[in-house]
Structures are given as structure tokens and as C-alpha cells.
């Protein structure tokens, strides 16, 4: 989008009103490290989802109860973090809530980087389509079924090759577990350096190796199973059906380079500045402050 300095006073007034709503204090789920106006590619962009405690299904252990999940891009890398309701045990086999002979237990995110596609196959059945181009997860795998060894591992599953008849690529990535806080770091290039994507955090217990249609998911954030929409990185509404909405990927408007609150929720700036209101006539008088009398006093 390109701004024209010769636009009407109506647009200028609307922009001033819009910028007046930009603050550094509201909407804690839309975060930047600092209120920089620069759209530098190295800037930090974050998306956060919170989740209620004790909303687990299938009597899963508390360390599979998500309380929040965060995705942050900084300095060419994505940082994935999950906060859980209890510490991750050093030896999950000692937890009676973990079914005996489980193949793996995971805490992770599914990333929908291209809503126009749905790769078919692994880690699901060979004829089963799924929204995610990528899965990023911390997994405890006593059987080593992911090919990365036994115990705790962090992995990136790239499902994009499935779209061309290829094979999924599973790659080990950097992992940190600190009590109830789990974090993984992935190079942005490994994800195709996406400008935006939809995502959901999950916890999972599987009794058999993938491909696996019988795994259970004790917790999701957002709660897609209850009708919640996907989360979006950066934190800007982007439903899968709205893939081609230019606002969702135009940084200067959607993210502002700082924190903004649109007066009309789920509207774009173009709609805002074109909404009905007083207009200056071709022949008009100006007030002492230079505002056409047909418009009246501008409220800023």
C-alpha cells in the first residue's frame, strides 16, 4: 500500500484519529520489544495464546496442560515456547498418567504457512489431509520412532514435500526444558521464512509410531475443538478463508511497527478512511485553523 500526500483532509483526519488509538499499553497478546517505527526485518514479532488450567482431556498429566504458548521471530530465528501447568518429569515412565508402552508424548505447534494447501500423509494416514505444513515439537520418545534417538528430542517436521509426492523431512532442532517451561529455536529459513501463518499449540500422547490416526490430544491452544479460531503470527486476525486479504500481510498497516488499536475491530484501514462522514465541497470556506467549514472541527 502506498500513501499519497495529496489525499483529502478527510483522510488525513481519519489517519490522525487512527494513530491516536496506537498505544504501548494495551492488548498483551500483540507484543514488540520496543515501540520502534522501523519495519526492520530484524524486529521482534510475537504471538501469544493463553489457555485455562485444568482443561485437560483423557485424564492426562498436568505437565501436558498448556497454560500459554508463544511464537517469536527475532534475528532470523523463530522461538517457540510453551508454559505448562506442572514440571516436565525427567522420566515420564514414572508418571502413572502416561499409558504404559507409549510410543511418544509431545508438546508442540502445528503451523499453517499456506492455507491454500493441505498436505496428505505423514504423520497421518496416507490418504489423510491436514492443514499443517510444519510441526515443531518437543517429544519424549522411548522407542526412538522419529529417528532422532530415545528420550527427549526437539524436532521439526516439514510436510511440504508431500505436496509434490515426496517424503516428509524430520530434522532435530535446539531444545531447552526448564521446569514447566519448554522452548525450541528454529531458523526462519527452515520454515520458508514466512511473513505470516496460522498456528495451534497442542499436547499429544501416542501409543504407536506415526503414521498414526489413534493419538490423543489432551490439550489445544486455542481450543479448536471448542470452535476457537486458529492463532496467528504475528498477532493479527487471519482466518484461513481470508488468506488473500492484503491487510493480513502488510506490515505498515496491520502491525504499524508499534502497537495499534483499530477503532473498528476486524476492519482494515482502507475501510476506516472510506467510511461515511462529512466531505468538503468543491467550493468551501476555510476556518481559521484551515479546516473546511462543511467538515467542522476535526476531533484528534
Residue 279 lies in a domain: no
For residue 206, which of 217, 219, 197 has the smallest C-alpha distance? 217
Residue 292 lies in a domain: no
Q: Note the pLDDT of residue 214.
A: 77
Q: Which residues of 11-31 are buried (b: 16+ CB within 10 A; e: fewer)?
A: bebbbeebeeeeeeeeeeebb
Domain that holds residue 40: 22-254
Least confident of 159-163, 187-191, 201-205, 207-211: 207-211
Residue 202 lies in a domain: yes
- Say whether pLDDT at 11 is over 70: no
Cβ atoms 208, 103 nearer than 8 A:
yes
Give the number of domains in the chain: 1
Quote the CA–CA distance of 172 and 124 in Å, as a whole number: 20
Residue 99 lies in a domain: yes
Residue 54 lies in a domain: yes
Residue 238 lies in a domain: yes
Residue 144 lies in a domain: yes
pLDDT grade for 236, boundaries at 50, 70 and 90: low
Residue 156 lies in a domain: yes
pLDDT grade for 87, boundaries at 50, 70 and 90: very high
pLDDT grade for 144, boundaries at 50, 70 and 90: very high
The three cell numbers locating residue 49: 495464546
Q: What is the mean pLDDT of residues 97-106?
A: 93
Amino acid at each position: 500500500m502506498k500513501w499519497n500526500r495529496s489525499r483529502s483532509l478527510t483522510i488525513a483526519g481519519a489517519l490522525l484519529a487512527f494513530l491516536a488509538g496506537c498505544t504501548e499499553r494495551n492488548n498483551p497478546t500483540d507484543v514488540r520489544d520496543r515501540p520502534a517505527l522501523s519495519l526492520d526485518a530484524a524486529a521482534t514479532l510475537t504471538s501469544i495464546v493463553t489457555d485455562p488450567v485444568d482443561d485437560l482431556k483423557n485424564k492426562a498429566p498436568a505437565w501436558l496442560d498448556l497454560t500459554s504458548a508463544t511464537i517469536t521471530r527475532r534475528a532470523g530465528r523463530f522461538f517457540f515456547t510453551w508454559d505448562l501447568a506442572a514440571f516436565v518429569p525427567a522420566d515420564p515412565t514414572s508418571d502413572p498418567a502416561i499409558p504404559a508402552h507409549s510410543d511418544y508424548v509431545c508438546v508442540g505447534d502445528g503451523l499453517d504457512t499456506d492455507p491454500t494447501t493441505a498436505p496428505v500423509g505423514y504423520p497421518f494416514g496416507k490418504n489423510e489431509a491436514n492443514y499443517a505444513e510444519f510441526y515443531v515439537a518437543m517429544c519424549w520418545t522411548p522407542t526412538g520412532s522419529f529417528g532422532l534417538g530415545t528420550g527427549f528430542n526437539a524436532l521439526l517436521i516439514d510436510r511440504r514435500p508431500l505436496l509434490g509426492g515426496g517424503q516428509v523431512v524430520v530434522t532435530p532442532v535446539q531444545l531447552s526444558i526448564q521446569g514447566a517451561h519448554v522452548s525450541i529455536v528454529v531458523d526462519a529459513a527452515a520454515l520458508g521464512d514466512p511473513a505470516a501463518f496460522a498456528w495451534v499449540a497442542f499436547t499429544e500422547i501416542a501409543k504407536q509410531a506415526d503414521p498414526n490416526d489413534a493419538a490423543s490430544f489432551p490439550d489445544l491452544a486455542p481450543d479448536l475443538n471448542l470452535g476457537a479460531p486458529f492463532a496467528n503470527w504475528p498477532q493479527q486476525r487471519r482466518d484461513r478463508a481470508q488468506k488473500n486479504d492484503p491487510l493480513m500481510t502488510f506490515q505498515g498497516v496491520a502491525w504499524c511497527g508499534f502497537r495499534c488499536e483499530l477503532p473498528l475491530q476486524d476492519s482494515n484501514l482502507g475501510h476506516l478512511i472510506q467510511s461515511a462522514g462529512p466531505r468538503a465541497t468543491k467550493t468551501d470556506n476555510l476556518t481559521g485553523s484551515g479546516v473546511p467549514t462543511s467538515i467542522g472541527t476535526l476531533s484528534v
